[in-house]
Amino acid sequence: MNRLGSETSPYLLQHRDNPVHWWPWCDAAFEEARASSRPVLLSIGYAACHWCHVMAHESFEDAAIASVMNDRFVNIKVDREERPDVDHLYMSALHALGQRGGWPLTMFLTPERLPFWGGTYFPPVPRYGQPGFPDLLATVADTYARDPDRVTTNTRALHASLERLAAAHAGDVPTPSGLDGAARQVAGQLDAKLGGFIGAPKFPNFPVLEFVWRRARKDDVAHQHVVTTLERMSAGGIFDHLAGGLARYSVDERWLVPHFEKMLYDNAGYVRLLTAVWRSTRHPMFARRVRETVRWMLADMRVPGGAFASSLDADSEGEEGRYYVWTASEIDEVLGSDGPRFRSAYGVREEGNWEGKNILHQLDSPADDDADLAPLRGALLARRAARVPPAFDDKVLADWNGLAIAALAEAGAVFGEPSWVAAASDAFAFIDKEMTDADGRLLHSWRADRAQHMGMLDDYAFLADGALALWTADGDDRWRIRAEQLMETVLVHFRAQDGGLWRTADDGEQLIARPRSGHDDATPSGAGVAADVMARLWHLTLDDRWKTAAEQALAAMSGAAARAPAAYPSLLAAADTLIDNVDIVVEAPNADAPRTQDLLRAAWRAPQPARTVRFITRRDSLPVGHAGSVIEDDGGRPRAYACHRHTCSLPVDSGPALAQLLGQLRADSFSRNRD
């Protein structure tokens, strides 16, 4: 029987009517495999995955193929977003086989959960240089039954490879000059003309871009690479020019043709990096894209209660991108005499620019926000809304919500949008209410009034990051306390003896290996974000315990980061925070006073990539040993100052004066001894 009908994951529910006898990931499935002496076919995907849909339609809905699967395998279906720990483990096994990763992930396991072979998408008949899926199934099942020695050889080799994921790659905490060199090395891999990494496909890679932006302070060329990437991305078809929001990646090197699914985590990273770069450049297009993307997130990606859903699918009516593309005649039908002007502005051709249809973009024309085009975009959006929409994965994930919370809180403060900060606060409240157990431990996934799966490092780290962003935006100390509570749990349940960080908790499900966290994937690494949060907590509290924890987390993986900095940008960014953070203190008796708000606004908009912003009403609110404690009192008048490595600037008493001070300061101007 198919056992997916009682699951909550939209991805698993998409497969509940397959003739395949799917199991969810559970002990009973492996017990069945053991009892029946059959191998396990593990299929991992996610709801917005186009090729997952293709393989489902071609193979999992085919009665003959399903019969082979049922007869010769125990079949397990996993939503990678619900179980990123399982996905990471078996994707690592696929890489150990020398194959490129991707989804759907198709792995073959023993009843002991040990992988012995795998791949990604397989067609129903031989094509693309791959065997047909039925032939592959027969070969794998026959090998398992008739050649156990070969299976054992593979499982031993792959298990040994997976166990190496637990190893530290230790080194020294990066120095400022080491970080500068790493940033130059990573920036050298970026496409100076088109942005992103050279070639196609192009992924946003926001952690990489953020690290280059943060650390290449004196390298105008490296900074321009980041600006170029954001400009091209924001003008390209990867951006939804009608509703806002970014697709997961571009299949071409120009950023024209997206893989049309929209993921919450990409859009959180997009908003956050645009906001950071805008603080230095004041690029008007970046501000517009922030507003357009946040508008989309708030309108289309929230679930009742205020949390954010996971994704929108790439497909509708069985076709990838159908919801988003246009013909020239359809645009003229909607816009009438304004059609030609709109088509010229958004790269629309009579013959189409992709498979006979048009993806809206501004890559070949100035990406101006012509006010006259706004109502035209609105008219097309209204027409598009009448189409069959892509599927909506309304599953709530704690870690991805943490990313969205941090992005909204930061952008809300910088752009003067308190409703964005309030939305971030509402999402955090949802997680605390619906996805936290009686012991204060996080659960990773929620849907249909059911929270499940023990929280992982990313959940704790990303939410703690969001809590600190909220604390910066609204000054409520409960957010700093909440961040400390989350990081306390990290130190208790995720910390290795050497101070490195595991992906999963010590009391979580014991898989066949327990990997370390370190390198970035589509999202930042939990270890990198956790180290960054601990570094900021040290700057905010001067509690050396947080400094030690951050240093140890960095040192445990810094050897690997030194060898391959493009794979570890979040850890390197955390080292930047630890070493070169600028602490901006706004001191005033009342946060709501106009002059105080001017100071806070200037602090929030500070160009320094690594900075903390704190508001205090009393001098004794500063932690013991803070350099600002020696600044003479000024009778309670609002003022602000910036501090770095226990040295503070002179105080200023107006927003423009603080903006001028911060615009002139560079972190290295505070201290001559950078290393």
What is the per-residue pLDDT across 652-666, written as a single tens digit (0 to 9) for each? Answer: 999 999 999 998 876
Determine how many CB atoms are found less than 10 A away from the CB of residue 458: 27
Residues 467-494, mean pLDDT to the nearest whole number: 97
The DSSP line for 398-412 is HHHHHHHHHHHHHHH
Q: Give CATH for domain 10-166.
A: 3.40.30.10
Average pLDDT of the chain is 95
Confidence of residue 634 (pLDDT cuts 50, 70, 90): confident
Query: What is the topology classification, in CATH, of domain 582-669?
Result: Glutaredoxin (3.40.30)
CA distances from 539 to 137, 143, 623 (A): 56, 58, 10
Residues with Cβ within 8 Å of residue 517, at least 6 apart in sequence: 457, 458, 501, 502, 503, 525, 526, 527, 530
User: Which residues, at least 6 apart from 172, have a Cβ–Cβ distance to it below 8 Å?
Assistant: 555, 558
**How does strand 105-109 pair with strand 115-119?**
antiparallel
Phi and psi angles of residue 29, each rounded to the nearest 5 degrees, phi first: -65, -45
pLDDT of residue 666: 61
Question: Cis omega (within 30 of 0) on the bond before 104?
Answer: yes
Summarised one tens digit per residue, pLDDT across range 304-328 is 999 999 999 999 998 999 999 999 9
Percent of the chain whose pLDDT exceeds 90: 92
Segment 326-347 mean pLDDT: 96
pTM, rounded to two decimals: 0.96
Across 225-283, the runs of DSSP E, i.e. the strands, are 249-250, 258-259, 262-263
Answer whether residue 642 shows pLDDT above 60: yes
Domain ranges, ordered by start, for the chain: 10-166, 324-385, 582-669
pLDDT at position 194, please?
96
Characterize the bridge pairing of strands 392-397 and 443-447. Answer: antiparallel
- Using a 10 angstrom Cβ sphere, with 0-12 exposed, 13-18 middle and 19 or more buried, the burial of residue 330 is middle
d(C-alpha 164, C-alpha 597), whole Å: 52
Q: Are domains 10-166 and 582-669 of this chain identical in fold?
A: yes
Is residue 674's pLDDT more than 50?
no
Of all helices (H) and strands (E), which one includes residue 180?
A: helix 176-187
Element (H, E) at 643: strand 639-644
For the segment 144-161, the average pLDDT, to the nearest whole number, is 96
DSSP for 32-43, please give it: HHHHHT--EEEE
Q: At what angle do helices 220-235 and 264-281 cross, to 10 degrees?
A: 130
Q: What is the tens place of the pLDDT at every residue in 106-143?
A: 999 999 999 999 999 999 999 888 899 999 999 999 99
pLDDT band at residue 369 under the 50/70/90 scheme: low
How many CB atoms within 10 Å of residue 543? 15
CB 267 within 8 A of CB 300: no
pLDDT of residue 664: 84
Residue 367 pLDDT class (50, 70, 90 cuts): low
Asked whether the predicted pLDDT for residue 675 surpasses 80, the reply is no
Decide if pLDDT at 645 tops 80: yes
